[in-house]
Amino acid sequence: MKTVLTKFLTLGSAALLMLSACKKDGALVTSNGGKPGALTASTTTPVLDKTKLSDATPIVSFTFAAPNYGFSAAVTNTLQIDAAGDNWKNPMSVTLANKVYSQSYSTSDFNALLLKLNLVGGVTSQVQVRIANTISASVAPIYSNVISLTVTPFNLTSWLYITGAFSGWANPGPAEDSLFSATSNGIYTGIINFNATGSGANQFLVLPAKNWNNKYATSGSGTPSSTITYNASNNFNAPAANGWYLVTFNLNSNTISFEQVNSYSVIGSVTAGGNWSTDDELKFINSTDQAWEGVLSFTAGQFKFRQDNDWTWSWGDISSPDGTDATDSNGGNINVAAAGNYWVTFAIPASPFGTSPPPPVLAKYTLTKQ
């Protein structure tokens, strides 16, 4: 009898311990806590070298021990990296596979991750790393120790290519019909003139390379708010009204947005009409230049820049002789001494985007004979 009683008490004690560690209220799992595993890093000063973009060798590795909840639990482990001072509001998160307790990054992958945190290229910054352990949506996660890293990411420009009815579905779209990211942070922008007519006039696609092998499209109805889906079957739609639009293509959230913007042109005695009544349109080049540009055929004469083919806002020259400064209509006409093809650029320093007047008075231009 004594042996039976001892075994009963032992089993009962084990059951009580298990119940104290984890309780199930209906379908709700609760926990009295857990102990996270320690996190370590192979280095706290990973070197980001632009010349090693194609090198798959890890430059930093994170390793951690499994957490201990006091009972067998299905644990989701998530590596979180955030800019110092952000207080974990917007970390980059990577959910690791079951029973995987390490994560390594090559130069390319780690630099891209840092740029998504909006760190400035070429500037030394601090980031923090931790592991979040979760066992249920109804149970608060537990976190490992935090490791601080000193990093200096580098900017890496990249483009996507946009083609559609506006470009005659060019194969692929010309380089200037592109979406541009100055830091390769997953957010691409470009100013596009959606000016086609007829059925499907505002439809377009975005290509990751200058070919049709793959595409960014949508599986939805194609409305301007459609979700981006890789290699889906439906075209995107720009807003119905033709015009110049700033397109923001966000691959982090898989969303697109459009903002109508002003356009800029040249008018004067040098243009095809030759009578200050015909505009030569400039095109926004989606690159680091952030300028309206074009190669234009001029006769000898004079011209000014203007906004939206209208005289409400125009720019003439304020330097003598003609140079690179332009101001509003108080500036004089810009002189072209000889006929020929000219590379013309026009840039508003503050921002070329938006439609809200007034634009900045000062602007910059160049005029280069080809």
Q: Which of 224, 232, 220 is nearest to 249 (CA)?
A: 224
pLDDT at position 18 is 41
Task: To the nearest 10°, report the CA torsion of 50, 51, 55, 56.
Answer: -10
* Residue range 158-186, pLDDT digits in tens: 899 999 999 999 887 776 789 999 888 89
Whether 163 contacts 272, CB under 8 Å:
no
- Bridge partners of 113, per DSSP, are none
* Residue range 103-157, pLDDT digits in tens: 999 999 999 899 889 898 899 999 999 999 999 888 899 999 999 999 999 988 8
Q: Which residues contact 243 (CB under 8 A, 6 or more apart)?
A: 193, 194, 195, 260, 263
Span of 80-84, 198-202, 301-305, 322-326 with lowest mean pLDDT? 322-326
pLDDT at position 350 is 63
DSSP 3-state assignment of 187?
A: strand
* Residue range 16-29, pLDDT digits in tens: 344 444 444 444 55
The answer on pLDDT for 279 being more than 70 is yes
Whether the CA torsion 222, 228, 233, 237 is positive or negative: it is positive
Q: What is the CA radius of gyration of the chain?
A: 30
The answer on pLDDT for 282 being more than 90 is yes
Greatest extent of the chain over all pairs of C-alpha atoms, in Å:
117
In the chain, what are the domains? 35-151 (2.60.40.10), 158-260 (2.60.40.3620), 264-369 (2.60.40)
Q: Amino acid identity, residue 241?
A: A
Give the span between the Cα atoms of 122 and 108, in whole angstroms. Answer: 15
* Residue range 318-360, pLDDT digits in tens: 875 556 788 887 788 999 999 999 999 998 876 656 677 678 7
Token pair recorded at residue 60: 């930093």
Span of 25-39, 62-76, 110-124, 206-220 with lowest mean pLDDT? 25-39
Model's pTM, two decimal places?
Answer: 0.67
